[in-house]
Structure formats: C-alpha cells, structure tokens
A and B are shown apart, each in its own frame.
Chain A
Amino acid sequence: MGKRLRLSGLILLSLWVAGSASAQSKVGEKDWNEILNAAKKEGKVVVAGSPDPVMRNEIIPKFAARTGIPVEFIAGRSSQIVARVETERSAGIHSVDVFLAGPDTTAIDLYGNRMIDPLRPLLVLPEVVDGSKWKSGKVWFLDPEERFVVRPFSSVATMLFVNTDHVKPDELRSYKDLLNPKWRGKISTEDPTTTGAGANMAARFHTQVGEEFVKALYIDQKPVSTRERRQMSDWLARGTQPICLNCREDDVRPLVKEGFKILEIFELTGVPGTINGSPWLLSLANRAPHPKAAQVFANWILSKEGLETYARGYGSATLRTDIDESYLNPGNIVKKGTKYFDDTDWKWIVTGRHESREKVWKLLKTR
C-alpha cells in the first residue's frame, strides 16, 4: 500500500469517522484502506443516472479528488438507461456499477427485474452506518427486504406554484379553490394522460380527494397541459397560466431570483402535504464490473460530504442529521408530527400509484 493511498484513506476516514460504536458493520482505517486500494485497482466506477448538472459539475470532480477513482457517468432518461442495461445483460455484458434512479425505475425495473445486489452489507463507513446520523435512526432501505434500495432524501414537495401578480395567496387556501371558474384555462399541468409528474399528481389527487375532484380539475377547469417542463415555468412567470401544478423547483428558483413574484404552496386545506425521495434512490448493480469502486462510491455519496454536496446543488432535504439545512426553503423541510402523503412509499410506487393512474387515464379519455 503506497503512502498516497494511506494518506487518502486517512483523510477519508478522518472526515467520515463519527465516533459512534453502535454501527452495524463499520470498518477501521486498515480495512477501509484495503477496500479503497482494491477499488483503485478496478480503475473506475460507472454510475448511471439522470443528466444532472450537480452530478456532472460537483459530485464527479469531488469524488475523484477525494478517492482518486474516476467516475464514468452514463446519463440519460431512465427508460433509455434501463433499455440499454437490459440489452447489455441479455448479451452477457455488465457495465454499470451504481444506479442513481427515480423511484419507478428502481422499484419496477431494477428491483423488479433483479438487476441489483444487496447494498446493506456494503455500507461500512462509520458515519454512514451510525444510526444517530440519520433522521430515521438508521439508513432507510425502502425495499420490502430492507437490503437493496437506499432512500437518502426526503423533502416536502411543492404542491403548486402561483404567480402572485395574478393570483392572491388568499384565493388559494383549500383544494376546492382550484375549481373556482376564475381559474378555468389558467392552470398548467404536465400532460396527465401519459407517464410522468402530471399523471402522478392526478393519481395522488384521485387517492386523496377522489374521482369527482380529478374530473372537475382536469376536465372542467380546462387546464393547459404540456410535456415540456420549461414551457410551464415560462407560462407561470408570464402569468399566462399563473397556477402551475407540476413546475419544478429548479426551474422556478431562477425566476424567483429574477424578481418574479412566485409563491410555492406546499399544502392546501383538505389535501395534506406530500414528501418524496427526489432526486434519486441509490442501488448497486449485481455482477458489477467494479464492485469495490461501487462500494466506495455508495459509502461516499451517503456520507455527509457526498449528500450535502448533492442536496445543496439540487435544493432537496437529506435524511442525515448532520447537514445544516439553512440553504433550504423552510417549506421543504419535513416537520415532525405532521402527517404527509409519501410519494416515494414502496407500496404506493409498485401498486397504488399504478392503479390510481389507470383510473385517471380512463377518466380523462372519456372527455
């Protein structure tokens, strides 16, 4: 083991060691250095995920600098990544080590088609396995066996955005206010007739409020739908459609900085707030070509440094207790004792959402 490796191992551990003795399988400096040494010999780690500027500009350089292991990032829509990985596997090729994917892809494709390995035994860094570092008292494994899929984020999702030049906050207090004829044609939504955020929200409304509300909102109110996320935030800023059901926070944030009077609404009377695990869930590919490098990446990305870098760049709340959350909009932080609808709940992803979405699609096709 070279001097450089020992030094980087020491730096990593000194950054990560939290001091708790209750960890399930934490390792000492020597063991960690062995893992790091083996990981470096593998040469790289291949991560597949959404084309995300935070990943590209911050995570990859920081991880490479910290561990000396370069990251190959396969970026794309989850549908494209899964198609590619499935075809590779049918030809006996296993090229991806780590998946940073959305809940549907993770639960239905990666876990459902047995493309991932148990991650729990590979989490060894003291500050990762230390339960006191996590709001839930332990690393949150979402899958039924609690071994494969880690959920490191949990933020309160924005229910809708309004342009207050056109909609006064008092005018939208209850979910029923959305049905005010004044807002007919003034609401934008991602196309609810196809898979995506629009359909997911309609499915949530269907479950939480009922079919009549979905019918009234998505048919009678004549919302303007699109499949281009930028279009919705532009309409919101211009006031053409001053109520946006599916605008993304990272699209709207720059508009607020520009001085547009945009208000985030996290809950409406009659509809509890929603939490989700955005931007991704973590899992490791089975038969990974660089298993040790994948282990190092998984441990690092769940460490304070890894998660904080991602969360600050993306603007979401992590489940770690040692990250200062002052960078967040207070509305995004999950409040203790408040009841939320969990949009990344495993059962909801695998069955509930699917069933509700089907009902919504059937309903919308009758219009």
Chain B
Amino acid sequence: MKSATATVFSFRYRLPPIRVAEISFLIFLAVAMGLPLLFLLSGSFNLAAPGRAAVYGFDNWIRAFSDGGTLGALWMSFLLSVVRLIPAMIIAVIFAWLIARTDMPCGNAVESFCWIAYFVPDFPLTLAWILLLDPNFGLLNSLAKSLPWVDGPLFNPYSFWGIVWVHTSTGGIWFKVMLLVPVFRRLGAALEEAARVSGAGTGTMLRRITLPLLSPMILAVSVLSFIRGLQSFNTELLLGTPAKIYVYSTRIYDYLQQEPRAYGEATALGSVFLIVLAILLFIYWKYLRGEKKFTVVTGQGYSTMRVKLGKWRYVALGSCFLYIAVMMILPLLFLVIGSFMRRYGFFDIAAPFTFAHWRNLFADPLFWEALRNSLIIASVTALGGIMLYSGVAYLLVSRRTVTAPLLESLCWIPHVLPGILLSLGVLWLFLSTPLRWALYGTVWGIALALILADSPVTTQAFKAGFLQLGPDLEEAARVSGASWSYTYRRILLPLLAPIAAAVGLMNFGSALTSISTPVLLYSHQSRPLAILLLEYSFTGELERAAALGLSMTMIIGGMMMVARKFGLRLSRSD
C-alpha cells in the first residue's frame, strides 16, 4: 500500500506544472462547457414529453429544418451579420489605431465614450432610434421634411439598413474598439520606426506592419462579432417584425416560446452556429499556425512611441467625436430624457416630465437587494474570468500543450449557444453536481455561469496579448532563477495588465447587464439588476427600465475609471 502511494506520488510529482495545469483546465472546461452542450444535443433527439421515458429520434431536427422560413431567416441573419461586420470592423480598427498608436488628443476620452456606449442597454436605445427615425413621427424625418427638396421620410428604421444602422450604434464598433485598443497599445514602436526609416508612409506602415502584427486579435474579434451578429435578436425583433424581416435567432426564440416548449428544435437550429464556428476556427488556426510572427514585446527594449499626425490630429479627433455624437450621444440623450418622461417619447402630453420613475426605482427595496447581488456577481465574474482565462490563454499560446485545439474549442462553446440554451445547460450541470446547494440559486452560481459565458472573449483577448510577448522574457526570468509562478505574476501579468483591466471591466459590465444567463439560475435571494430590468420591461414599465438601465451604465462608468487607473498603474509599476 505504502509503495503504491509512493508510486502515485512520484508519478504526480514527475508531471511538469504546465502539464498539471493543462489537464486541470481541460477537465474543468470539458465538464463546465462540454457537458451542458452534450446534454442539450442529446436532449434535442429526445422526443418524449418532460418527465416521461426518453424516446429518441430525428423528428425535432427534421421539423426544425423542414420549416420553410428557416433557410430564409438564416440567409437574412448571414447578410445582416456580414454587412454590419465589414464597415464596423474598419471603423473600429481606425478608432483603436487613433486612440492607441497616434498622438490624437483626448484619446482616453474617446475610448471612455466607447466603453460607456457599449454598456448602454440596447432595448431602450433602439426605442430612442425609433423616436429619431420613424417615418411618421421620427424627429430627424420631421426636421428633414422642413427642407424644400424633401417631400417624404428620409429614414426608416423598420428596414434592412435601419437594422444595420441601429446595430452600429448599439454595439457595433464599441465592443471591437474595447478589445482592440489594449493590443494596439502593446505594439512596440520599433518596427513602425524601422518602416518609417525605410521610407514607408503611414498607409504602407499600417498595411504592411501594424495590421499584420495585430491580425490575431483582429481576426478573433471578427469571428466573435460575426457569430454575435448571427445570434443577434433584440433589435431585429423590434425593427424587423413590422417590416417582416425575420432572422434565424427569431426562429430559435419562437421554438422556445411555444407551448409546450420545443427545446429539441431550438437546439437543432442552434447547432448551425457550431458548424459556422468550426469553419471559422479552422481558418483562424490555419492562419496562426503559419510562419508568421506576432511578437511585439521582447526583452530587447520596448518603446510605444506614437505616430505623429500633425495637423490631421484635430481632424481625426473631430471625426471620432462626430461619430460618437451621432451614433451614441444623440440616442443616449433621448434615453436619458425618456427616463424623466411620464411616457417615453411623448412630448406633447401635459407636463411630460417627472422624477417619479427614478424615485420609484430607488424606493423599490428590490432595487437595493438586486444592486448588492449584482455587484457581488459582477466582481466575482470579472476577477474569476481574469484568473481562469489568462491561464488558459497562456497554455494556448505556449506551444507546449498537446490539447490546445480541444481546449480552445471548449472555450468557444458558450459563444455559439443561444443564451437561454446555455443557461438551461448550466442549470442542468449545477443540479447534477453535489455542489448544487452552493451553486443553484446563489450569487456564486450565477457568477460561475457568467464566467463560463465570458470564456470566448476573455480567452481570445488574453491569447492575443500573450502572442505579443516574446519567449525571451520568460527565458530571462528563468535564467535569473525565477519560478514559473513568479514569472507569470511579476513579468507576464503586469505586461498584460491593460488587457486584464479591459476584459475584467468588460466582464463586469456584461455580468451586470446579462439577462439570458442568470434567468434560469437566480432565486429570490440572488436576483440581480438585469433580471429586475427584465421584469420592468416585461410589465411595460419602460420608463423605470430606462432609469434602471442608465443606473447600470453609471455603475459601469464608475468601475471603468477605477479599472483603467488600476490597469494602467499595474502596467507601469513593473
């Protein structure tokens, strides 16, 4: 017995730490991400009613895909996603470059606006766009009609291009800028300077040096955005239905709403996202596996000197602020005004303004309970995500793991499952574990579910960051006698602090605003603010929902200032 224990011990001891970490992460991700997916997939073949003995067959899949509208809806989703992605990606890259790589003044302010814009709740913001663009009563159309050469409405939000426009405002470039800026910042100036010395202009330098070096993150953000676009749903529901524009996610939603619920059909349709992801990941891996090098931070000196724009710096700043003013401040202004209106958007009623919605919100004891819950959930999610996925990302880029493709695929799973299906899978997982007393219905369980849901964005952001760090940094530390954990803590993480701050804050904000993940997991005691927002919206209390949405945005704004200071200080301290 003693010798057997010793053998096991020595076997364990012989495993290098990186292998232990790899196996641990693999087991965790396989259980946390893989099992819910398997549960949903196997459930999609179960034809029996809930609570009855399982009967397996393909009927759910056949029914889902033989529906005449399914293919049309898939095509519409694809078109909307592509059309949105290309211009938004170009604008986002320009924004990130201007903020992080040039001497454009007020870059931090521009970046802060992008952050705030991302976390403004999209539902009331879409309503704000309706108030601005509606062909019958929209403010901009009314203004346009006063022009002598305009005799009809110029804008129509209930159209393909209306949906594209509103998407560009509600989430379009902001999310991309948030993820791109930290990696643009990390780009050393040496290569750009070398290009300049060799006679390259700004355009050539951007095309030949900057963008190729940053391509892993640009590609990752594109994949993330494309799949997000395919899954997009709220704006299409509000603007697409009157114009009879139906998207793929609407069909999934319909299956989830019908009586009795058709989770099998919904999962069958959701599996298309898995296929799309598999194709995109294959292309992405192929690209990264080539001979290209993306390292920009090495042990041989590091400068982040910025490109001088000369007199164009004010033109650039003006363009950024014009874009932000039109796409964010204008609808946000309507949202703020809406929260003080007795009826959102009705200016012609007697005494249209009131503080009642804000007063009622703060007088609601549920608000304060939910606020406390949300702050705990969001903080745990942000910190947990950083700790977990920085480790996973390190393994993915270390080239010393044998299971990297599997690890990475598992990390992407939450991104391809529609939110409510992911929530159902996680609910099943929690209830199947002996830890269900600690996970189900508690703030800790919701935080864990949100950490899982954040895996694609967080892992890809850290991965892009690690790809920029040269191996000589680690080697130098090791030669100097530093342990792996010391190197990770004192060298790598400080260099990645801006990325950690960015994704941490992003996850904090997502945790605060996410509805679909906690919707099946919360209890009376752990109800977060987002669920309260859902309840207000569901019961038509739109003005109070607007006030709550703005409160959440303000909390995120406050956290943003703290996180930016913290992240920047960390990155400078070492």
Contact = CB atoms under 8 A, between A and B. Distances in A.
A195 B254 contact: yes
A234 B345 contact: yes
A259 B261 contact: no
Contact of B261 (A51, A74, A83, A255): A83
A77 interface: yes
Interface in B295-339: none
Given A74-B523, A91-B436, A237-B346, A365 B241 contact: no
B343 A258 contact: yes
B524 A74 contact: yes
Nearest to A89: B51
Given A56-B366, A83-B261, A225-B242, A258 B346 contact: yes
A225 B440 CA distance: 39
Contact of A230 (B241, B342, B441, B540): B540
Interface string B50-93: 11000000000000000011000000000000000000000000
Given A91-B431, A240-B137, A83 B520 contact: yes
A75 B261 CA distance: 18
B244 to A, nearest CB: 8
Interface in B511-539: 519-520, 523-525, 534-535, 538-539
B542 A195 contact: no
A221 to B, nearest CB: 14
A108 interface: yes
A53 B541 contact: yes
A30 B85 CA distance: 70
B484 to A, nearest CB: 40
A321 B110 CA distance: 64
A251 B542 CA distance: 11
B260 A112 contact: yes
Nearest to A115: B51
A83 B424 contact: yes
A98 to B, nearest CB: 13
A84 B237 contact: no
A105 B254 contact: no
Contact of A365 (B68, B427, B520, B539): B68
B263 interface: yes
B524 A108 contact: no
Contacts of B242: 224-226, 231
B259 A108 contact: yes
Contacts of B441: 95
B108 interface: no
A14 interface: no
B51 A114 contact: yes
Interface in A63-89: 72-77, 79-80, 82-84, 86-89
Contacts of A87: 424, 427-428, 431, 520
B260 A108 contact: yes
B520 A72 contact: no
B540 to A, nearest CB: 5
A82 B343 contact: no
B343 A113 contact: no
B49 interface: yes
B540 A194 contact: no
A363 B242 CA distance: 19
Pick the most buried of B137, B237, B242: most chain A CB atoms within 10 A of its CB.
B242
Interface in A168-205: 191, 194-196
A348 to B, nearest CB: 13
A52 interface: yes
Interface in A90-122: 90-91, 93, 95, 104-105, 108-109, 112-115
B50 A86 contact: yes
Given A87-B431, A226-B242, A248-B540, A79 B519 contact: no
B524 A258 contact: no
A79 B436 contact: no
Interface in B27-42: none
A113 B68 contact: no
B256 A254 contact: no
Given A225-B242, A255-B343, A112 B49 contact: yes
A90 B42 CA distance: 15
B540 A83 contact: no
Interface residue tally on B, bucketed by range:
35 or more
Nearest to B68: A365
Nearest to A226: B241
Nearest to B342: A258
A191 B259 contact: no
Nearest to A224: B242
A261 interface: no
Contacts of B69: 365
Interface string A231-269: 100100110100000001011001100110000000000
Contacts of B535: 51, 56, 75
Nearest to B263: A83
Nearest to A188: B242
Nearest to B123: A228
A238 B136 contact: yes
Contacts of B534: 51, 76
Given A258-B343, A365-B69, A195 B519 contact: no
B559 to A, nearest CB: 27
B427 A84 contact: yes
Contacts of B258: 194-195
A83 B263 CA distance: 9
Nearest to A44: B524
Nearest to A191: B241
Contacts of A295: none
A335 interface: no
Contact of B538 (A51, A90, A109): A51
B204 interface: no
Contacts of A227: 237-238, 241
A247 B51 CA distance: 36
A347 interface: no
A258 B345 CA distance: 14
A365 B70 CA distance: 12
Contacts of B538: 50-51, 77
A270 to B, nearest CB: 28
Given A52-B539, A112-B49, 12 more contacts: A50-B538, A53-B541, A56-B366, A56-B535, A74-B524, A75-B535, A86-B51, A87-B424, A227-B241, A230-B542, A234-B346, A240-B136
Give 9 nearest A-B pairs by CB, closest first. Answer: A91-B431, A51-B535, A72-B524, A104-B259, A86-B50, A195-B258, A194-B254, A240-B136, A84-B520
20 contacts: A50-B538, A73-B524, A77-B257, A79-B261, A82-B261, A83-B263, A90-B431, A91-B432, A112-B49, A194-B257, A194-B258, A195-B254, A226-B241, A228-B241, A229-B540, A231-B130, A237-B346, A240-B136, A258-B342, A258-B350
Interface of B: 49-51, 68-69, 130, 134, 136-137, 237-238, 241-242, 244, 254, 256-261, 263, 342-343, 345-346, 349-350, 366, 420, 424, 427-428, 431-432, 436, 440-441, 519-520, 523-525, 534-535, 538-542
Interface of A: 46, 50-53, 56, 72-77, 79-80, 82-84, 86-91, 93, 95, 104-105, 108-109, 112-115, 191, 194-196, 224-231, 234, 237-238, 240, 248, 250-251, 254-255, 258-259, 365
